[in-house]
Structure 1
């Protein structure tokens, strides 16, 4: 397992990390993802640690806290071997203080997460979404206090836009506060919007991408077939409306390219899709999920080998989309391109 720097920080993280969204199984959305209990979770963690996967990602909203509880039980006795990443900010109830990233909410959410995880510190803590109702300086001040108290070691964000992240970074620099080093983003072969603004921002500002849903909300598992219904047992039946929409013609163009490369390499479609992400600029870690050992072992097979330049070019071409304004001139017109250095691969 390769280890990479998390953005411009000193923290080294594995190129693959494990998402605990399948732990707990409470509620319609997360119940569809999975219902892994503590015993099963310990077995999955055993497999991960044997493979060198040491970072585990969760959030308070996952199964209403049950994911953190199950993960905490699974890491008990080996806390020093793992990196725990969690998030807070999405609604946990109907009360006025049950959502957002105000100082009081962040302090309470951190204390609750520490209790559920059974630990006295969180390695990476991220606001789960931008909170337009709370001043950026208040958010950063609260997180800085929690870092200084030793309850959080590194901070990042999740699902921010470019201006929201840049405003936060500028405020942290202005006031000498703890700086975000990670951005947990949606990125896949059928969801490349991260490349227009967030990726160049991350490279310029030293913010590493921690990628969620690398298989495009379950569309790149290799089970979908043109003209056929969604297979029985697929979580797309229950969760498709929660994920980003994908135009059918585009989806199958990408799937056709993935199938061809999978045939050439002897790898699976998910392994090809994940491996492609690992070669993209700014990507520090790709979060893989699994409801069982078979899925986990298959996803772990995405590392330790490389796609050829020709295979990468074909996947790039099949998944390419025209960038929205104001980004497309910088990709397509020489005069604009001369003013912007290309990102390193």
Structure 2
């Protein structure tokens, strides 16, 4: 079991590279070796920050580097989506920004309904065969879409997906319906993002932060249905004498198929709490206490 660190999260609130540098250094010192970013994060600057941080604080061979494709980078057919043209153009652009000649895990950031899945999977397979990419992943799509892409790869003998990066935390558990069972069946590892529900599962109900007051995604977790779950996390944390973040992360780590949660740090203790959670094993009673207040949601937010 390991952690990934989100390159976007490290400088989401600042474009000052030196302000982000201590987080990268801390990640290396704590043994975090999976670094995740995407071409669209901060218009490409996230990839540039991550690439330079690897050279500054670590060695390329010691980092598992992940980035993503599909988001719109510029106008025109090669600027976004999952067409062959877009994939071939965008992977080269990402490699330049990252300052490397290969990507360890290349994620399809979102499903592209405008492009045949065969075209997408063939282009991705060509990247693997060319040595530009070592493994393929997908992110944030319906299970039927993931199955459609995965089946195309298997039928044609192309490289299948090895990882799924979806939103999964104690407040957002909709992936348990279809996606996680599918990943378990096919041996696909989960690298969930937002394991702390944008920080909502890491602080008592009613507590506010700068992010929770300004980030529309973070605000989506301030719903009445979430309050009992947050209160349960707080109760278990107080009984254990540990921060709420450690309890929420320990819950994610205990789940089947989860291999590497992606933590977006904005304060030094975020990374240290994440690593400490690796040593926190929840009891069956504690897991039941955390899960019993949850209620399935009609609407899903990625």
TM range (shorter): over 0.9
Match of 1:340 in 2: none
* Local SS of the residue matching 2:151: helix
Structure 1: distance between partners of 2:293 and 2:48: 41
1:66 corresponds to which residue? 45
Aligned: 1:17 with 2:23: no
Q: CA deviation at 1:17?
A: 0.8
Q: CA RMSD in A?
A: 2.0
Name the residue aligned to 1:35: 14
Matched, 1:135 2:135: no
Name the structure 2 match of 1:302.
Answer: 277
Question: Which residue in 1 is equivalent to 2:34?
Answer: 55
Q: For 1:81 and 1:42, how far apart are their aligned partners in 2? A: 18
Cross-structure match for 2:103:
122
Q: Give the alignment's TM-score, normalised by structure 1.
A: 0.81
Structure 1 segments of 4+ aligned residues over 4 angstroms from their partners: none
State the secondary structure of the residue aligned to 1:123: strand
Unaligned 5+ segments in structure 2 are none
Question: 2: CA distance between counterparts of 1:174 and 1:103?
Answer: 19
Match of 2:196 in 1: 215
1:45 aligns with 2:45: no
Deviation at 1:234, TM superposition (A): 2.3
- The aligned residue for residue 280 of structure 1 is 255
Q: Tell me whether 1:264 sits opposite 2:251 in the alignment.
A: no
SS of residue matched to 2:136: strand
Secondary structure of 1:212 counterpart: coil
Q: Distance in 2 between matches of 1:50 and 1:254?
A: 33
Does structure 2 conserve the Cα–Cα contact (< 8 Å) formed by 1:41 and 1:71?
no
Residue 210 of structure 2 is matched in structure 1 by: 234
**Which of the pair has more CA radius of gyration?**
1
Q: Is 1:173 aligned with 2:154?
A: yes
> Which of 69, 80, 92 matches 1:88?
69
Q: Identify the residue that residue 134 of structure 2 maps to in structure 1.
A: 153
1:300 deviates by 2.6
SS of corresponding position for 2:65 = strand
Deviations 1:177-228 (A, max 9, x none): 0010111000111100010000110011111111001121232220542xxx
- Aligned residues, how many? 297
Residue of structure 1 equivalent to 2:224: 249
TM-score (norm: length of structure 2): 0.92
User: How big is the shift at 1:48?
Assistant: 1.7
CA–CA separation in structure 2 for the residues paired with 1:113 and 1:223: 39
3-state SS of 2:105 partner:
strand
The answer as to 2:302 corresponding to 1:321 is no
Aligned pair in 2 of structure 1 residues 177, 44: CA closer, same or farther (>3 Å)?
same
Is this contact kept in 2: 1:39–1:74, CA < 8 A? no
